[in-house]
Amino acid sequence: MIKPKSLKNDSTIGIISPSYWLDQKILEKTAGYFTKQGYKIKFGKSTSIQSGPFAGTPQQRADDIHHMFSDPYIDAIFCSRGGYGANKVLPLLDYKLIKQNPKIFIGFSDITAYLTSISQNTNLVTFHGPMLSSYKKSWNEYNFQSMKNILEGNINTKINLPINHKIKILKHGKATGPIWGGNMTLLINRLGTTDVLNTDGAILFLEDVDEYFYSFERMLIHMKRAGMFKNIKGLIMGEVKNVKDEKIKFNKSIDNIILEIFNNKNIPIISNFPCGHGKYQVTLPISVKTEINTTMKNSPIRIIDNSVIKR
């Protein structure tokens, strides 16, 4: 894999809105948190364009991504928020340009499509982690320190859990492999396209938000039948936030559904991991060698390889 240069205390962060736009007041407030940490901020053109819910046309958003990657003064690219619309931009991306100008690229939710497509098409390590919208209510020190720890190039990194956040061990075990994944809806949308995620040998992590219990089960069944779970080494299920039920109760919890789908799979499985749409958002480096060890209850996930080039 191609590793971008590490983040430094005085790095310049380019902010883009590659899917939906973020309210200007929230954009300025959250960007201010990073300037207080010592970073320089440069806003992309997409952060000031509105076309319905989108931050400009697909071409304008693609151009902004290209500009940020090619700008020699930009050290890292942070997405302001997710939403919808990556699928319109992906066919317009110049992967050769991105590969020739490797940089930190971070986000989650709809940004999953960018992360997996960029990493698979260029071999560049990308990062599933907090965006500016993650800080719209308040500063979150845990999210920031998790991100900083990975992006500054600390090796053999144990993912320490928030004190008041409990994960669940659904199946015990130990496994190692490159970590891939993201938002379930976005990964399913890649099926049948040239951007389908190759999960062979992977530690797979998944998360989603605002789903019904039945639709969560339906997505897992779809992924299973499409072969996405056939050769994975381990599963990390992030928080599935705001899950809903219908008038006639589904009578299965998220964990019950997972265990049914993976009943014949002898791999370590963790659920309610702090990645995705919850309060706490761990930064995970896409494609980097990672270990699950369920005997390590306070830090069952360890990033084995360096995710960036230390500078």
- Whose tokens are 């994960």? That residue is 167
pLDDT of residue 298: 82
Phi/psi region, residue 38 (left: phi>0; alpha: psi -120 to 50; beta: rest), is left
Q: Which candidate, 302, 2, 308, places its Cα nearest to that of 156? A: 302
Q: Both 298 and 164 in a single domain?
A: yes
Q: Both 297 and 243 in a single domain?
A: yes
Q: Both 200 and 244 in a single domain?
A: yes
pLDDT of residue 278: 94
What is the C-alpha to C-alpha distance for residues 304 and 224, in angstroms, rounded to an integer?
27
Is 310 part of a structural domain of the chain?
Answer: no
Is 5 part of a structural domain of the chain?
Answer: no
Q: Both 166 and 299 in a single domain?
A: yes
Q: Both 235 and 126 in a single domain?
A: no
Strands laid side by side in the 269-273 sheet: 157-158, 301-303, 289-293, 174-183, 203-209, 234-241, 269-273, 168-171
Which residue range forms the structural domain that includes residue 229?
Answer: 157-303
Question: pTM for this one?
Answer: 0.97
Q: Both 221 and 146 in a single domain?
A: no
CATH of residue 195: 3.50.30.60
What is the residue-level pLDDT of the chain in tens, covering all 311 positions? 999 999 999 999 999 999 999 999 999 999 999 999 999 999 999 999 999 999 999 999 999 999 999 999 999 999 999 999 999 999 999 999 999 999 999 999 999 999 999 999 999 999 999 999 999 999 999 999 999 999 998 777 889 999 889 999 999 999 999 999 999 999 999 999 999 999 999 999 999 999 999 999 999 999 999 999 999 999 999 999 999 999 999 999 999 999 999 999 999 999 999 999 999 999 999 999 999 999 987 889 999 999 999 88
Is 285 part of a structural domain of the chain?
Answer: yes
- How many distinct structural domains can be found in the chain? 2
What are the structure tokens assigned to 236, written together?
Answer: 């990390």
Q: Both 248 and 115 in a single domain?
A: no
CATH of residue 76: 3.40.50.10740
Is 134 part of a structural domain of the chain?
Answer: yes
Q: Both 298 and 167 in a single domain?
A: yes
Beta strands in the chain (DSSP E): 12-16, 40-43, 76-79, 104-107, 127-128, 157-158, 168-171, 174-183, 203-209, 234-241, 269-273, 284-285, 289-293, 301-303
Q: Which of 130, 151, 172 is the last residue of a domain?
A: 151
Is 6 part of a structural domain of the chain?
Answer: no
What is the C-alpha to C-alpha distance for residues 183 and 113, in angstroms, rounded to an integer?
9
Q: How remote is the C-alpha of 229 from its chain's centroid?
A: 19
Is 284 part of a structural domain of the chain?
Answer: yes
> 39-70 burial string, b = 16+ CB within 10 Å, else e?
beebbbbbbebeeeebbbbbebbbbbbbbbbe
Q: Which of 117, 151, 185 is the last residue of a domain?
A: 151
pLDDT of residue 157: 86
Q: Give the amino acid at 175.
A: A
Q: Both 136 and 177 in a single domain?
A: no
Contact 113, 87 (CB under 8 A): yes
Where does the chain have alpha helices with state H? Answer: 24-36, 58-70, 86-89, 95-100, 112-122, 141-151, 184-190, 213-225, 254-261
Q: Both 133 and 260 in a single domain?
A: no
Per-residue CA distances from 301 to 66, 93, 260 (Å):
33, 32, 23
pLDDT of residue 283: 97
Q: Both 54 and 180 in a single domain?
A: no
Q: Which of 110, 125, 151 is the last residue of a domain?
A: 151
How does strand 301-303 pair with strand 289-293?
antiparallel
Q: Any idea of the CA torsion for 33, 45, 277, 191, to the nearest 10 degrees?
A: -150
Q: How many CB atoms lie within 10 A of CB 247?
A: 4
Q: Both 214 and 168 in a single domain?
A: yes
Is 92 part of a structural domain of the chain?
Answer: yes
For residue 5, the cross-strand partners are: 309
Is 80 part of a structural domain of the chain?
Answer: yes
Q: Which candidate, 217, 156, 136, places its Cα nearest to that of 184? A: 217
